[in-house]
Structure 1
């Protein structure tokens, strides 16, 4: 999940936050315009993809509450990236996460895109197949979760079940080579559904230990066919998905999220620099709208670990590998975001927990206002509490 990633649940930062003015007066880079593919952004404060588990059941259908949430966080010329959204029932890994594979889900997402567009903002839908990070109770007709290889996450990690409980991860079933065109077709249909729902583009979730990442990294991919062994083979499925999605949207409306050096969901690779340099070079050749990199200093994707600044900085290591707009996510504040953009290591910054608690985050940054403190107990599941009831500046000042 990118719980808060960022992105499981995908969160973009993982250390305690306090409500205090940001000690920085000049955000000239953070609030400069930027061309991202076919979009012209007015500023560079992006909503990270944040799993919140509040879709209508049964059916994983987005609803009016979700529309209010996204509408609150939309600002003129700003970019929002939706929570991770499953492309198929097989791709589901969390109860009440939304989908984009049924007519009802498409209609539900229309409420969200309309609310965002009323604020003159943009929104991309994040396309998601969790692979092995699932449980058979979430898709009983589909059977076991699937992955690149039949390797379960390390002992001690727990999956979500259909009733919001935890259970040990099951050993996934390795996808047969004859099944992989069907996975690509599911992504294509999801991209088509996202267009029908009124989104401005899509982001392919290739990060945080989900299916496409499971094919990329050699800790989880032990295949010996054309989807395994070499870096080119392990990247094949991701790039086939990218190509199929570009056919639907055009290259200027497709982004890709990656998590080099990420360990969340028991991930790892023997040579991450070579692997992700190759992937980013391939994405450059395809001219995608942006690459979105998760900083590994936030190791548990929002599960509460402190920020570890000793971890490699992906924005530093891979900046030159991608010839396009780079979004960086993971533990940023306004001042570190400004510094990162000013130094050229990223073009825009995605914020997670700060955006959860501050629906008008870009305006608060702009005028150096105090920040609300997020309530972690309300991050996942529930109702409007901790979701749409954080006060805006207007409400605080009235």
Structure 2
């Protein structure tokens, strides 16, 4: 399989020129190893028994002179993290260490946080703009920095193409497989989480079916701020039994450690705080394709009455994935905004390094009206000195700017 260039490639090359150690974090199958191997001169694979046994005997042995050292799946031997930290303290040069991990170490591993020594970089599944389906014409970074470049471009992609992209997955090894195999691989991915990954994290799943029901309930809450108590209520089995709250909290914590849950936090202004903002996270799985499989939905179902209620949330999940990938490359953070009484909400707020704001609404519609931008205009009224641009991400075919100043861009045309 040919390597597909990722937005994070540019980030990684820039940071390796400055940082002695960079850790690539993200869920299994996201492409961390393939991306890191392209930059490594020596590779230690800690999921391989021979490599792990050697370094168990001497965790500092990998630090031999010359080039970039990759420690793949480092969390399987947490002692090497501390070895890297010590090497950085001793004056390791830029680009010396790359670490990849698909989980944070289990509780009690005793590793140092690495703060100030090891730079962590999140790697997510492939965004829509990384899949080669269309050439983006609008840069999120330019919008965030107040670029006066005109908004333009056209695409032939329609809403059903986005549904197909959601179903196809952003995992590089899965997305181009035949549909039947792809579904099987995604099902196996979720099954492995239950049967193997969570036990490795120290969570004994005594009732796997209960966890699967909770995952389906979480998936059904995608792109919403549904309270965890309501997700728990939706986990009730056919016999009326319900897992304990402490059990589902444990699910949530461990699935987050596996990078499988990727909620969008409530946006908190870095300056001039706004009152009455809700801080509940907006729920997202790492890849919307996993949500689709947990709910047993397909692209065809989203386009029919069978699954139409999830079409909007799933499109927002796909858009959110791409916006977070692009925002990270622009050194920006992403949150969502919702007032406590629910009278105003903005799907995504991208905040740059100087406090500049880009407000984003995601609409599964080709035709955008003035009503679709009312919450964005409200945000601009509240923060006139900080809002540099406003954007509606659509399923239309034309990128343009409305008379009220709001940019309307089809998801296919939005890139980093």
- TM-score interval for Structure 1 and Structure 2 normalised by the shorter chain: under 0.3
Larger RCO (CA under 8 A, 6+ residues apart)? 1
TM-score norm. by structure 1 comes to 0.26
Greater helix share, structure number = 2
TM-score (structure 2 length as normaliser): 0.26
